[in-house]
Chain A
């Protein structure tokens, strides 16, 4: 997977803080089930997972988790409307074929979605592109362009525009940086589009309860 484990761990901490106890949660791209395990233990959530690797699904089963093998682009259609309180997509949106479609699917099957992704407008990314003239490689974008699974990178501004066009409310947003705790931000402020290395959004469908 392209996102570094460190970025994921920061995500997990922020996600744990956002999810209400006892909620029904679908974790898309749940890996070995670490986050689902934490959510079950700390928040007593009713968790489900979607994971592309059969070996990881197997590990999840051994953890006692209910996980379906599949990917965000094809298999979210199998879940019924509003089956969950939260749909989680951690550092994965930039790897899917149809991010807009996936995002609207998340908010079809859940009332809220928690989505995180690397911000391509972070100052270090801009600086590298400006000075080197090459695809940037940073802490949250550690791989070369030809080996990365990131095919749909975007910026905070791009993402908030997409949310607007899908008629989604941004309930909360946090900037994430390695080794630091999440920092609540207003994603519309241009300065945050420079400062946030990675960002996490809590989204809600406007007609959701």
Chain B
């Protein structure tokens, strides 16, 4: 597959629409492919802030083969600190993809049946244009000169990518957490370009509590002397301490009290207390590790921009506060909404308000609240009910869409 990858890469980098980028190829086990698409100066990305970005780059990966009718494409939208490496091993860390429970052979999203796309979000730091990218006007990293972006901006960039891959209508758009916000935005902005939508552990707007937690994280980053007003990259330093603290605080919100208790309780790292401020408790050591490993793979300014985009998210705002109006044109889309009982970051009432709005709009919606004590992170873990619900939903939607099981023809 190497040749095709190279061909696609060069094709995409030619600043064209890259219509041949996703042409039908031979079936292959996982058939992982992808590259980076660059939109030319003639295709600037219009942003909600009023700014526009030229030369936007979006790194993406694909699995499976686009069928002849181009009806089996699925877009997976990743969460705040996710990336496009949803199923294959991560190129730098070597770790398996972040959603192998859901994507892979025999999984609800199966490369044998679906052509699966996942791209890094606008503002990200895994190959999409973001604050760490080079500002063409200065030749230096954007830093805080990068325009503030929104969830709709991310989705607009994804829509450009999907179009460039030669896909008119996606079979499904699937995502959890911030990915779920993008799914809802897709349904509102491009109702004719998706057949079904799966929104997991998410919300139609960010709550005051969630904004508050994000603000703690941002303040931690900005309080790090090495942040340097966002120009750290140019000065050869990194605000690692601040970003690590932000991650530690955020990580607590992804878990539940029960999960923490079960995993760590009050267990100590070593025999006896240190009578000081070392990581005495296992939970402290765990959080420190989470913070330290996060800074290796994530850019601090990206963290500021993407958390901001989530805070600004309020799907109903553009519709006079009436969420149902956002879905008015999405009545033909099949929706599956899932939440988890112990998720206090995106609790079930948030999902229920999405379901209520979809019902009010007359859309076809299914909803399951999954019993789990693993908190918000449950959507990334092995949750059999989530897997069977999504598999059942996508299989029946696939039948309605006329998708064949087995390798796409």
Contact = CB atoms under 8 A, between A and B. Distances in A.
B365 interface: yes
A193 B396 CA distance: 44
A69 B369 contact: yes
A78 B359 contact: yes
Interface stretch (B94-102, B175-183, B386-394): B386-394
B366 A66 contact: yes
Nearest to B341: A54
B294 interface: no
Contact of A80 (B355, B360, B367): B360
A137 interface: no
A83 B359 contact: yes
A117 to B, nearest CB: 26
Contacts of A69: 367-369
A3 B157 CA distance: 53
A15 interface: no
Contacts of B364: 48, 66
A67 B366 contact: yes
Question: What band does the interface of chain B fall in when counting residues whose beta carbon is under 8 Å from A?
Answer: 20 to 34
Contacts of B389: 54, 57-58, 61
Interface in B333-361: 334, 336, 352, 355-356, 359-360
A60 interface: yes
B396 A62 contact: yes
A31 to B, nearest CB: 15
Nearest to B384: A58
Nearest to B367: A68
B318 interface: no
A48 B389 CA distance: 16
A22 to B, nearest CB: 16
Contact of A59 (B334, B359, B392): B392
A56 B32 CA distance: 35
A45 to B, nearest CB: 13
A61 B366 contact: yes
A79 interface: yes
Interface residues of chain B: helix, strand, loop or mixed (majority):
helix
Contacts of A67: 366-367
Interface in A23-74: 48, 54-55, 57-70
A57 B359 contact: no
Given A54-B385, A80-B360, A83-B359, A68 B365 contact: yes
Contacts of A64: 396-397, 399-400
Contact of B393 (A61, A68, A79): A61
B396 A61 contact: yes
Interface string B393-405: 1011101100000
Contact of A68 (B334, B366, B370, B399): B366
Contacts of B407: none
Contacts of B395: 62
A55 B392 CA distance: 12
B369 A83 contact: no
Contact of B391 (A55, A60, A62, A68): A62
A7 to B, nearest CB: 27
25 contacts: A55-B385, A58-B385, A58-B389, A58-B392, A60-B366, A60-B392, A61-B389, A61-B396, A62-B388, A62-B391, A63-B392, A63-B396, A64-B397, A64-B399, A65-B396, A66-B334, A67-B366, A68-B355, A68-B359, A69-B369, A78-B352, A78-B355, A78-B356, A79-B359, A83-B362
Given A69-B367, A78-B359, A80-B359, 19 more contacts: A54-B370, A54-B371, A55-B385, A58-B368, A58-B389, A59-B392, A60-B366, A60-B392, A61-B336, A61-B396, A62-B393, A62-B395, A64-B400, A67-B366, A68-B359, A68-B365, A68-B367, A80-B360, A83-B362
Interface of A: 48, 54-55, 57-70, 75, 78-80, 83
The 9 closest A-B pairs by CB, nearest first: A62-B392, A64-B396, A61-B392, A78-B356, A68-B367, A61-B393, A80-B360, A58-B389, A66-B364
